[in-house]
């Protein structure tokens, strides 16, 4: 399979601080589901932000071959004061795929509707986010990331702080997106819960990549990915 | 009241500003930049002073200097060279100090600056109204056409960057629209009160609206009603129109709060 992205000798530090990532080499094929794990401050989120172009490497090179990207940030929420409906939030995720000027076209509205249905929020489409549970809000943000028909979906701690039912729903959805639609998925998390049974590749990050392989090949002491010790 | 031409001109300018100020303010409030209008207002004062010094039309110099000030705030904020409030403070105080020095240099410290600080809608001329209506309708059209990308940036700026939206130009456009609004509204409510007309109707509408779009439209309705009520009340009660308009807008926040409590 052709590569979706490649990081070559990438290092990164914030400002004049110590390096967060050192000499990272990583290649991800199109359609691959890659779980990225590691301790707090280990550089998981930074790795994702480098891939998405939100940060630039101090040294090395990041090459992303896919054009359409969807992103679910950590603890996704919006700071706006006005009431925001699920449909409006998901519609904001479609803007880059539609014409920039004027209202959404019929096919774009259909894509928004499809993304909302895919995360199981059809009945809540016109409800405001502030009236919904944390799990439902998280699913709405995933729908926003899906609305632009991404080839690469980057999720940062998508199930943190949501109930088991929502975690199951996210797991089923991701399995469908990965296996049936061939989407490349980067899944950053401390804990993999419901997605653990279909993760095929796990990358452990602690300033550098300390493990890259199948979960079965993971050394015993690393089975809790949040407590990686060098 | 409408037999008098100066009142008809005042209502004409008031209608445009009443609709435009909350429409632009809506995007500033959602981005937690409510006080940017105040900062640009102080820069507009320097523009008025520059107009006196160069003997240029004051609205024109205020417009140019306001746009430059607004873009400076946005540049400093976006580059993260300074925190948002520090960027605002820098431009805010430079604007007001520059204004005082320029007015003094123009030998115009004794002119009636009061009308720019607190508004003088009853002195709007036909030419003023043509400028306000032309630029105001143009600014509203830009907001209408670019509503979706502007909302996408407001809702999730990083997400907008990831999917390739032109975030920096859209933020610069919002800043420029704010500057245009302030230059136009200077005569209606004054430099010191214009930010209120951009922010208070939006705060009130957020307590009444059921979606982003409805909130923005309600805010524009409240802005329009505040200006019309303010001018009318000021005419009959012999009060300053600018201050009266802003007090009406402030009262709508209270009404909005009561309505949201009743609705719960």
Q: Would you list the domain boundaries of chain B?
A: 5-191
Q: pTM, whole model, 2 decimals?
A: 0.87
Q: Which of residues 55-94 of A touch B (CB under 8 A)?
A: 68-71, 73, 76, 78-85, 88-89, 91-93
User: What is the C-alpha to C-alpha distance for residues A112 and A104, in angstroms, rounded to an integer?
Assistant: 10
User: Are the CB atoms for B187 and B133 separated by under 8 Å?
Assistant: no
Q: Where are the alpha helices (DSSP H) in B31-166?
A: 36-54, 58-78, 84-105, 114-118, 126-145, 147-155, 157-162
Across the interface, whether the CB atoms of B163 and A96 are under 8 A apart is answered: yes
Q: pLDDT-based confidence at A103, cuts 50/70/90? A: confident
Of A150, A173, A193, the one marking the end of a domain is A150
Say which CATH superfamily domain B5-191 falls into. Answer: ABC transporter involved in vitamin B12 uptake, BtuC (1.10.3470.10)
Whether A173 and A59 map to the same domain: the answer is yes
Over residues A141-164, mean pLDDT: 86
Whether A132 and A61 map to the same domain: the answer is no
Q: Is the pLDDT of residue A218 over 80?
A: no
Q: Is A52 an interface residue toward B (CB < 8 Å)?
A: yes
Of A150, A182, A197, the one marking the end of a domain is A150
pLDDT, tens digit, for every residue of A130-150? 888 888 888 899 899 999 999
Whether A85 and A145 map to the same domain: the answer is yes
Across the interface, whether the CB atoms of B159 and A93 are under 8 A apart is answered: yes
Of A124, A150, A176, the one marking the end of a domain is A150
What are the Cα distances from residue A24, in Å, to A58, A185, B26, B246?
Answer: 12, 19, 43, 57
**CB-CB neighbors (< 8 A) of B145 in chain A:** 101-102
Name beta bridge partners: A212: A203
The pLDDT value recorded for residue A76 is: 66
Q: Is the pLDDT of residue A13 over 60?
A: yes
Q: Is the pLDDT of residue B91 over 80?
A: yes
E strand or H helix that includes residue B184? helix B167-185
**CB-CB neighbors (< 8 A) of A97 in chain B:** 163
The pLDDT value recorded for residue B177 is: 94
pLDDT, tens digit, for every residue of B237-257? 999 888 899 999 999 999 999
Across the interface, whether the CB atoms of A82 and B212 are under 8 A apart is answered: yes
Among A15-19, A108-112, A209-213, B246-250, whose mean pLDDT is lowest? A15-19
Q: Is B213 an interface residue toward A (CB < 8 Å)?
A: yes
User: What is the C-alpha to C-alpha distance for residues A181 and B18, in angstroms, rounded to an integer?
Assistant: 49
Q: How many CA atoms lie within 13 A of A122 on its CB side?
A: 7
The pLDDT value recorded for residue A94 is: 92
Across the interface, whether the CB atoms of A144 and B163 are under 8 A apart is answered: no
Please report where in the chains the tokens 């929020």 appear, as a residue. Answer: A121
The pLDDT value recorded for residue A47 is: 94
pLDDT, tens digit, for every residue of A49-78? 999 999 999 999 999 998 899 998 887 677
* Percent of chain A residues topping a pLDDT of 90: 37
Q: Which of residues 6-65 of B touch A (CB under 8 A)?
A: 26, 29-30, 32
The pLDDT value recorded for residue B165 is: 92
Q: Is residue A18 part of a domain?
A: yes
Q: Is residue A208 part of a domain?
A: yes
Task: Give chain A's end-to-end CA distance (angstroms, integer).
Answer: 32
Name beta bridge partners: A71: A154
Domain extent for A96? 81-150
């Amino acid at each position: 399979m052709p590569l979706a992205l490649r990081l070559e000798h990438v290092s990164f530090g914030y400002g004049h601080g110590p390096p967060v990532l050192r000499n990272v080499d990583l290649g991800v094929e199109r359609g691959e589901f890659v779980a990225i794990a590691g301790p707090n401050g280990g550089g998981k989120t930074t790795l994702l932000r480098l891939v998405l172009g939100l940060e630039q490497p101090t040294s090395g090179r990041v090459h992303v071959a896919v054009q359409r990207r969807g992103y679910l940030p950590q603890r996704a929420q919006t700071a706006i004061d006005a009431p925001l409906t699920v449909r409006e939030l998901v519609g904001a995720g479609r803007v880059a795929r539609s014409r920039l000027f004027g209202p959404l076209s019929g096919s774009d509205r259909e894509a928004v509707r499809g993304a909302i249905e895919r995360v199981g929020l059809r009945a809540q489409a016109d409800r405001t986010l502030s009236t919904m549970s944390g799990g439902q809000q998280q699913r709405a943000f995933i729908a926003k990331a899906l609305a632009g028909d991404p080839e690469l979906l980057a999720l940062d701690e998508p199930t943190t702080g949501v109930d088991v039912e929502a975690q199951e729903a996210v797991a089923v959805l991701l399995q469908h997106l990965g296996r049936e639609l061939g989407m490349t998925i980067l899944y950053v998390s401390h804990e993999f819960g419901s997605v653990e049974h279909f993760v095929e590749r796990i990358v452990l990050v602690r300033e550098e990549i300390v493990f890259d392989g199948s979960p079965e090949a993971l050394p015993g002491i690393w089975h809790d990915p949040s407590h990686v010790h060098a | 009241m409408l037999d008098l031409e100066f009142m008809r001109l005042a209502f004409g300018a008031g209608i445009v500003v009443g609709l435009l100020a909350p429409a632009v303010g809506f995007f500033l409030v959602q981005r937690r930049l409510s006080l940017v209008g105040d900062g640009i207002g102080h820069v507009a004062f320097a523009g008025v002073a520059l107009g006196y010094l160069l003997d240029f039309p004051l609205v024109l110099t205020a417009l140019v200097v306001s746009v430059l000030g607004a873009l400076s705030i946005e540049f400093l904020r976006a580059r993260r060279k300074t925190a948002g409030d520090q960027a605002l403070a820098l431009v805010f105080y430079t604007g007001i100090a520059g204004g005082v020095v320029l007015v003094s240099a123009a030998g115009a410290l004794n002119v009636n600056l009061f009308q720019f600080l607190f508004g003088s809608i009853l002195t709007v001329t036909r030419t003023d109204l043509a400028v306000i209506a032309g630029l105001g309708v143009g600014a509203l059209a830009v907001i209408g056409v670019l509503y979706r990308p502007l909302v996408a940036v407001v809702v999730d700026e990083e997400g907008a960057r990831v999917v390739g939206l032109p975030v920096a130009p859209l933020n610069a456009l919002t800043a420029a629209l704010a500057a245009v609004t302030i230059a136009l509204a200077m005569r209606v409510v004054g430099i010191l009160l214009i930010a209120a007309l951009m922010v208070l109707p939006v705060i009130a509408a957020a307590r009444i609206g059921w979606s982003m779009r409805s909130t923005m439209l309600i805010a524009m309705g409240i802005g329009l009603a505040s200006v019309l009520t303010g001018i009318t009340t000021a005419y009959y009660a012999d009060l300053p129109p600018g201050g009266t308009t802003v007090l009406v807008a402030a009262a709508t926040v209270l009404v909005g709060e009561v309505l949201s409590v009743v609705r719960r």
